[in-house]
């Protein structure tokens, strides 16, 4: 078997200098990673896979990115770039602005259900430029609404914590569906007996389950989200009234 796989060194087989296309760049890598994550989920993202997707070898990526973890940090900030925060800072409409921002954060999180898994996977220092942009804008809204410097930050992390928590739970469910191939309706229907049985001895839980049954799950999730958001915004409004009252 003298025929080896190594290319015969000849002018004709030698790779032509067609490498004039941009080759590889950090931005391109991150963007392709997002595409791959969206298409096939978090466990499909390996350096080799991402490499072949870019027409490159796995180890080439390391010229532009220190780690897989660093790559993931970049990916997270890239996604934060999709979050829309209203510019207008009319103090009277702070509630609408924050609400819009929260909704944007949620839909972004649901559009990329793998995001929350990355957020949990620690090591993310929250210093990416897009993340900073969002924080600064939201801060502007809250400050103009009347929250003092030290408190605006607490208010913002409360809202964000809520949105991330809620969206994370939804996203986990959605990516479970994506992996198993069920629709939301099918999954609930199939899980029903197990849930009923698990809720034995828990009358209140069963009752709560029964209320949810037959609702459109997408709408139910949305209403659930809005409910909690409204409670938080109510609470913040109350605090705002206290602040302006004591001044």
Query: What size, in residues, is the chain?
Result: 247
Assess 227 for contact with a second copy (CB under 8 A).
yes
Assess 48 for contact with DNA (CB under 7 A).
yes
Assess 64 for contact with DNA (CB under 7 A).
yes
How near is the Cβ of 155 to a second copy at its closest, in Å?
Answer: 8
Assess 21 for contact with DNA (CB under 7 A).
no
Which of 32, 84, 133, 217 contacts a second copy by CB under 8 A? Answer: 133
Judged by beta carbon distances under 5 to 8 A according to partner kind, the member of a second copy, DNA, none in contact with residue 49 is DNA
Of residues 123 through 182, those in contact with DNA by CB under 7 A are none
Stretch in the footprint of DNA (CB under 7 A) among 14-22, 110-118, 142-150, 176-184: 14-22
How near is the Cβ of 33 to DNA at its closest, in Å?
Answer: 11
Assess 88 for contact with a second copy (CB under 8 A).
no
Judged by beta carbon distances under 5 to 8 A according to partner kind, the member of DNA, a second copy, none in contact with residue 141 is none
Judged by beta carbon distances under 5 to 8 A according to partner kind, the member of DNA, a second copy, none in contact with residue 171 is a second copy
Judged by beta carbon distances under 5 to 8 A according to partner kind, the member of DNA, a second copy, none in contact with residue 154 is a second copy
Assess 58 for contact with DNA (CB under 7 A).
yes
Judged by beta carbon distances under 5 to 8 A according to partner kind, the member of DNA, a second copy, none in contact with residue 62 is DNA
How near is the Cβ of 113 to DNA at its closest, in Å?
Answer: 19
- Is the CB of residue 119 less than 8 Å from the CB of residue 65? no
Assess 187 for contact with DNA (CB under 7 A).
no
Question: If you search the block for the tokens 């009347």, which residue do you land on?
Answer: 146
Q: How far is CA 98 from CA 88, 130, 161, 166, in A?
A: 11, 17, 13, 16
Backbone angles phi and psi of 124, in degrees to 5 = -80, 110
Token reading at 178: 């994506």
Q: What is the Cα–Cα distance from 204 to 202, expressed in whole angstroms?
A: 6
Residues in touch with a second copy (CB under 8 A):
113, 116-125, 127, 129, 132-133, 135-136, 139-140, 143, 149-155, 157-158, 160-166, 168-169, 171-173, 175-176, 179, 191, 194-195, 198-199, 202, 204-205, 207-208, 211-212, 223-224, 227-228, 230-236, 238-239
């Amino acid at each position: 078997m003298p025929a080896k796989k190594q290319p015969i060194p000849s002018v004709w087989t030698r790779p032509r200098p067609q490498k004039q296309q941009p080759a590889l760049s950090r931005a391109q890598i991150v963007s392709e990673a997002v595409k791959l994550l969206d298409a096939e989920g978090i466990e499909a993202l390996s350096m080799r896979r991402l490499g072949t997707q870019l027409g490159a070898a796995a180890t080439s990526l390391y010229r532009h990115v220190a780690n897989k973890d660093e790559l993931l940090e970049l990916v997270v900030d890239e996604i934060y770039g999709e979050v829309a925060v209203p510019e207008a800072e009319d103090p009277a409409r702070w509630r609408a602005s924050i609400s819009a921002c929260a909704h944007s954060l949620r839909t972004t999180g649901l559009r990329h259900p793998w995001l929350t898994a990355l957020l949990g996977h620690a090591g993310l220092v929250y210093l990416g430029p897009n993340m900073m942009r969002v924080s600064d804008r939201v801060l502007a809204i809250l400050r103009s609404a009347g929250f003092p410097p030290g408190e605006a930050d607490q208010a913002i992390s409360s809202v964000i914590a809520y949105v991330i928590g809620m969206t994370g739970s939804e996203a986990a469910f959605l990516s479970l569906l994506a992996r198993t191939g069920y629709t939301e309706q099918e999954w609930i229907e199939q899980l029903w007996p197990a849930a009923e049985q698990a809720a034995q001895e828990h009358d209140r839980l069963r009752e709560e389950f029964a209320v949810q049954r037959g609702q459109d799950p997408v709408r139910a999730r949305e209403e659930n989200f809005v409910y909690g958001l409204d409670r938080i915004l109510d609470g913040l409004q109350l605090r705002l009234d206290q602040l302006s009252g004591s001044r």
